[in-house]
Amino acid sequence: MLVTMKELLDQARVDNYAVAAPNIDNEHNLRAAIDGAEEMNSPLILGVPYHVNPDICYLGRIATDLIRRSAVPIALNLDHGKNFENCVMAIRAGFTSIMVDRSELPFAENVSQVKELVKIAHAVGVSVEAELGHVGGADNYEVDGYSGLTVPAEAVRFVAETGVDCLAVAIGTAHGVYKGEPDIRFDLLKELREQVPVPLVLHGGSGTGEENLSRLAREGINKVNLSNELKRNMVVELNKQDLSQYGIYGVYNYLGQGFKEKLIENIQLFGSQNKAENWRK
């Protein structure tokens, strides 16, 4: 069933778990993601990053169709909407949530651009995620990892002034591939969880480490974005197969299997297994 991100995350905040938010690129990993969530009886958020998939009208159409036929509650989110036009386009394409990423702008400018899109999105029942502080790149972790940490008092003001439904925070993770495991600021997460009245989102979930991820989900993160490690596992799974003779016809199945297996592992870490029950009452 197609739902808003707000209702998924508000419930996750009440019950203390995180919803997996895999990035999807095409019909194959879209189907794999939905299958994985159904097998786990878990809610799910599908993320489509605009810079990777600019044809969001096409993806929006097939994703909303498949989601409507699924047995579990799923939101469709534009990941990292970088400008006004692609956020509005996502709403038109049927997305039930948009991320308005203005985290590289100064605070006041971030507030005013997010606020404008919150007004538009909320008018048609679409949820909004924004980012405060800045989650940088893992390839430059020594510098980026800690340079843009979220300040709790600013986060409280930001949520009050913009009206966002959830907030991506910078607590020591980064996008991409880490050299080792990142050093997560759980103390900062605790402060944010206590002070910020909306669900918190973690970007850069791939490679964060199993123990870190399950602790993050228990201690205040309600959505974890996943991309890199799901895609890497597609390749791992494909490489295990003997593709000589007719094996090649299974290529998309193997890729989907790798994506689904890694997603299921994450759903188990995040504690959202069987939480789809809340939508069947």
Rounded Cα distance, 281 and 121, in Å: 28
CB of 64 to Zn ion, least distance (A): 22
Rounded Cα distance, 229 and 74, in Å: 21
Beta carbon nearer to Zn ion, 21 or 117: 21
- 203 appears as a binding residue in the annotation: yes
Residue corresponding to tokens 């997460």: 189
Beta carbon nearer to Zn ion, 103 or 162: 103
**173 φ, ψ (degrees, to nearest 5):** -100, 170
Nearest Cα to 112, choosing from 147, 164, 167?
Answer: 164
35 included as an active-site residue: no
Would you tell me which residues interact with Zn ion (CB under 5 A)? 203
- 242 appears as a binding residue in the annotation: no
Beta carbon nearer to Zn ion, 13 or 203: 203
Nearest Cα to 77, choosing from 34, 48, 100?
Answer: 48
**90 φ, ψ (degrees, to nearest 5):** -65, -40
CB of 225 to Zn ion, least distance (A): 5
Q: Which helix (H) or strand (E) holds 21?
A: strand 19-22
Residue 232 carries which side chain, given as an amino acid letter?
A: R
- 134 appears as a binding residue in the annotation: no
Catalytic residue (choose from 10, 55, 65, 79): 79
CB of 138 to Zn ion, least distance (A): 11
CB of 161 to Zn ion, least distance (A): 22
- 51 appears as a binding residue in the annotation: no
Beta carbon nearer to Zn ion, 227 or 233: 227
Looking at the annotation, which residues are catalytic? 79
Annotated binding-site ranges for Zn(2+): 80, 101, 131, 175, 203
